[in-house]
Amino acid sequence: MTPLLKTGIFCGSFNPIHIGHLALANYLCEYENLSEVWFVITPHNPLKQSSELWPDSFRLELAQIATADYPKFHASDFEFHLPRPSYTAHTLEKLRESHPNREFHLIIGSDNWMLFDRWVRHDEIIAHHPILVYPRPGYQVDTTKLPSNVKLTDAPTFEISSTFIRQALHNHKDIRYFLYPDVYKRIIDSELF
């Protein structure tokens, strides 16, 4: 029997995707034995104003550009085809149905882990999926209280946010080294700023 592919699911608005996202996913592939990481672009996060989001198709395009050169990365529009708002439990359920040959590992930050018991159907997520928690500054996780399939990784922390990126672009700052080079070029060519 062929072993299941270990697929990391990294959901987010990726508004835009930046080097922090990419470096983290790279680390998880190489150090946490994931076969691949899917960047699942969220069309509407229930916790964010949709007006803050760049167009879905543009955020997806940028993620596709950023992930094209690394075979373990995949930009996914899976949530574009699900009811909105998108809830992680529902996304994972549909992923399991659509891809039975994969074992989906949820990737979340320690800030989200601290709120995890407020997530819709959080107990179902834990029951069906390993969870990789990456550290975020200011959000300490008590590893003695983690369920058996939840792991706090030793991933480096990257204090870069998409909000910072958007604000810097709005202020016409040259922040090319915060973004994958072709992503930066595409954003500049888009004349959004």
CA gap 111, 98 in Å, rounded: 29
| CA distances from residue 91 to 19, 80, 82, 83, 146 in whole angstroms, order as listed | 25, 10, 8, 10, 23
Average pLDDT, the chain: 94
Domains of the chain, first to last: 5-159 (3.40.50.620)
Are 78 and 94 within 8 A, CB to CB?
yes
pLDDT of residue 20: 97
> Tens digits of per-residue pLDDT, 77-94?
999 999 888 899 999 999
Write down the pLDDT at residue 53. 87
* pLDDT surpasses 80 at 58: yes
Is residue 46 predicted with pLDDT exceeding 60? no
The arithmetic mean of pLDDT across residues 127-144, rounded, is 96
- Mean local confidence (pLDDT), 105-111: 97
